[in-house]
Amino acid sequence: MVWVTRVGLALVVIITVFAAYLFTAVRSLEVEKLSDDLHVLFGMGGNVAVLNTADGTVIVDTMTFEMQGDRIKEVAMELTGKPVIAVINSHYHLDHTHGNPAFDPGVRVVSTERTLHHLKQLDSEHFADAPHTMPNETFSGVHRLVFGDKHLQLVSPGLGHTDGDLVVVFEEEGVIHMGDLLFNGHYPNIDLEAGGSVKAWPATLERTLQLTFDRVIPGHGPVTDRAGIRQFQRFMAQLGQIGQASVDNSMSLEETLKTDLLTEDAGYEEIKMVVPIGLDRPFVITRAWEEANGKITPRK
């Protein structure tokens, strides 16, 4: 009996410590200043941009948990002194949208039409208690927003990570937020089920490079510049070539996974959400093979 109690107590302690660790990890945000009016928040999930405008605060993406949405609101208020009036969602994935329900009624929530479509199809339950935080202003192609003295250009440059990603140009700051069209130093998720494409991704990046900017906020990884996009573009092009070669030479997935043609991933690390989440070298080669061979094994 005493033994059982001790084991039980040890378990309670372990679970409590782990829960406390998780709580801290989820709530902690690192802040980087890009200009007087633009900051980036790094945390568990996609990178968040916080823009101060005369009208109020505008943010891009909301990370993974509603609790993080609350924290983003607090930090945004500390940085700008103004409440969040608009949330832009770069795409539908939960590590960029699940903080949305923390935001107040009346908030503008902007995304592409495809992103709203995917959210409705795949994730509407998460927004059941806060339907006002589903996108309520959608577009395809290009969409311009003006907040006081700040001009934003939202561009949907084409297929890549999904079929509905947008890029935000902060014109006065010379900065773009690329969402998950750019993973900087990490293996990307390639959501073929939601219209993503290895083949199309390099051309989509080329269209993004036509925009006017100097610095780049990626969906994951540190802030970079045009050279960072070029590097990732070479990586995606190699993946496309590997997929094509597997078709040309009738190669199985197993054979394709042994490729030595992928070199641009030198130094890439797997993304972790406390633990690695399966975005690694075999994953990206598998996706390239699946798309090229028309044999997609659906993933959740």
The reply to whether 93 sits near Zn ion by the rule CB under 5 A is yes
The reply to whether 61 sits near Zn ion by the rule CB under 5 A is no
Say if CB 198 and CB 285 are below 8 A apart: no
Q: In what order do the strands lie in the sheet with 57-60?
A: 30-35, 38-42, 48-52, 57-60, 84-88, 108-112, 137-139
CA 89, 94, 96, 98 dihedral sign is positive
Query: CB of residue 275 vs Zn ion: minimum separation in angstroms?
Result: 18
107: closest CA among 125, 142, 82? 82
Contact window for Zn ion (CB under 5 A) among 88-96, 195-203, 230-238, 269-277: 88-96
Contact window for Zn ion (CB under 5 A) among 7-15, 101-109, 177-185, 228-236: 177-185
Contact window for Zn ion (CB under 5 A) among 91-99, 124-132, 227-235, 277-285: 91-99
The reply to whether 180 sits near Zn ion by the rule CB under 5 A is yes
Per DSSP, the three-state class of 180 is helix
Q: Which is closer to Zn ion, CB of 66 or CB of 180?
A: 180
Query: CB of residue 249 vs Zn ion: minimum separation in angstroms?
Result: 31
Q: 197-226 mask for Zn ion (x: CB under 5 A)?
A: ------------------------------
Say if CB 172 and CB 149 are below 8 A apart: yes
The count of chain residues that interact with Zn ion, using the rule CB under 5 A, is 2
Say if CB 134 and CB 104 are below 8 A apart: no
Contact window for Zn ion (CB under 5 A) among 86-94, 105-113, 128-136, 202-210: 86-94
Chain centroid, CA 243 distance in Å: 24
Give the residues lining the site for Zn ion (CB under 5 A).
93, 180
